[in-house]
């Protein structure tokens, strides 16, 4: 089966600019997650969707981050405006159901200068 | 709250050496425990898991036993190979499956011939 697809692979922007990341989960997977992995740290959950509804966004900095999952399939994560501390790898993961194992994409590495 | 503490890296071993990567956790309730591996240039992959006390997860020669009394889930392998070079993450989830994961900081393993 095809894995979780993410794009772009790399992105470099200046602070205060905006950026968007895209994720296409494994076909049929109802649950989608966005994680932020800062260099030297483990991934941290930003937001979790079940189909097109938000299950958990308690760790999402809502003043600058937003995410949507239209039609319960693809998802986009946006940062506006970006800060230097947003430099990280943004990982998308999906799972078949709420309590199924997660499958991760290769991530998008964001550098904010 | 939930947290995972992992052995600091990096770890460098010669081929066929014995590997131990320590992991301890703090959690409310009865978490599931996981080891994920990230090979160079690839996404996170589930290596093994254990869902209750005294369970042993195993895969590709790696093993880890869920020790409730010591709140630990140490990763071991009897004879490492060059191909095992990767970053290893210990993680926990409060759900039976792999719901919201709390990750450790990761341990980079390099195996030299």
Q: Do A44 and B104 touch (CB under 8 A)?
A: no
Q: What's residue A97's pLDDT?
A: 79
**One pLDDT digit (tens) per residue for chain B, 113 residues:** 889 999 888 999 999 999 999 999 999 878 999 999 999 888 899 999 998 999 999 999 999 999 999 999 999 999 999 999 999 999 998 865 546 889 999 999 999 99
Q: How far is the CA of B109 from the CAs of A101, B8, B85, B99, in angstroms?
A: 24, 11, 5, 26
Q: What's residue A52's pLDDT?
A: 85
pLDDT, one tens digit per residue, over A6-46 is 999 999 999 999 999 999 999 999 999 999 999 988 999 99
Mean predicted confidence (pLDDT) in A75-103: 92
Closest C-alpha among A47, A67, A43, A49 to residue A57: A47
Mean predicted confidence (pLDDT) in A90-103: 87
Question: Considering CB atoms only, which of A42, A95, A101 is closest to B103?
Answer: A42
Q: How far is B3 from chain A (nearest CA, A)?
A: 11
Q: Do B104 and A95 touch (CB under 8 A)?
A: no
Q: What's residue B76's pLDDT?
A: 98
Q: Do A101 and B98 touch (CB under 8 A)?
A: yes
Q: Do A99 and B97 touch (CB under 8 A)?
A: yes
A101 inside 8 A of chain B by CB: yes
Residues sharing a CB contact under 8 Å with residue A60, sequence separation 6 or more, in sequence order: A46, A47, A67
Q: How far is the CA of B79 from the CAs of A46, B47, B75, in angstroms?
A: 37, 16, 13
- A93 vs B contacts (CB less than 8 Å): 44
Q: Do A42 and B106 touch (CB under 8 A)?
A: yes
Return mean pLDDT, chain B. Answer: 92
Nearest residue of chain B to residue A106 (CA atoms): B43
Mean predicted confidence (pLDDT) in A56-85: 94
Mean predicted confidence (pLDDT) in A84-104: 90
Q: Do B43 and A105 touch (CB under 8 A)?
A: yes
Is A98 a residue whose pLDDT tops 80? Answer: no
- A45 vs B contacts (CB less than 8 Å): 100-101
Q: How far is the CA of B1 from the CAs of A43, A104, B22, B92, B102, in angstroms?
A: 17, 25, 20, 12, 10
Return mean pLDDT, chain A. Answer: 93
């Amino acid at each position: 089966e095809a894995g979780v697809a993410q794009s772009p692979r790399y992105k470099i922007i200046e602070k205060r600019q905006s950026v968007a990341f895209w994720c296409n989960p494994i076909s049929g997977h109802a649950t989608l997650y966005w994680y932020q992995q800062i260099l030297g740290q483990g991934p941290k959950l930003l937001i979790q969707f079940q189909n097109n509804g938000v299950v958990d966004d308690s760790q999402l900095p809502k003043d600058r981050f937003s995410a949507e999952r239209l039609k319960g399939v693809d998802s986009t994560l946006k940062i506006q405006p970006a800060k230097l501390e947003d430099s990280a790898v943004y990982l998308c993961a999906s799972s078949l159901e709420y309590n199924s194992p997660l499958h991760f994409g290769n991530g998008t590495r964001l550098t904010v200068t | 709250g939930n947290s995972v503490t992992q052995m600091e890296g990096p770890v460098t071993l010669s081929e066929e050496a014995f590997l131990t990567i320590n992991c301890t956790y703090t959690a409310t309730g009865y978490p599931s425990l996981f080891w994920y591996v990230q090979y160079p240039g690839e996404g996170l992959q589930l290596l093994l898991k254990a869902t209750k006390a005294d369970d042993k997860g195993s895969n590709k020669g790696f093993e880890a036993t869920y020790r409730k009394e010591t709140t630990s889930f140490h990763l071991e392998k009897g004879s490492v190979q060059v191909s095992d070079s990767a970053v290893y993450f210990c993680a926990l989830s409060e759900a039976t499956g792999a719901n919201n994961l709390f990750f450790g900081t990761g341990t980079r393993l390099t195996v030299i011939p």
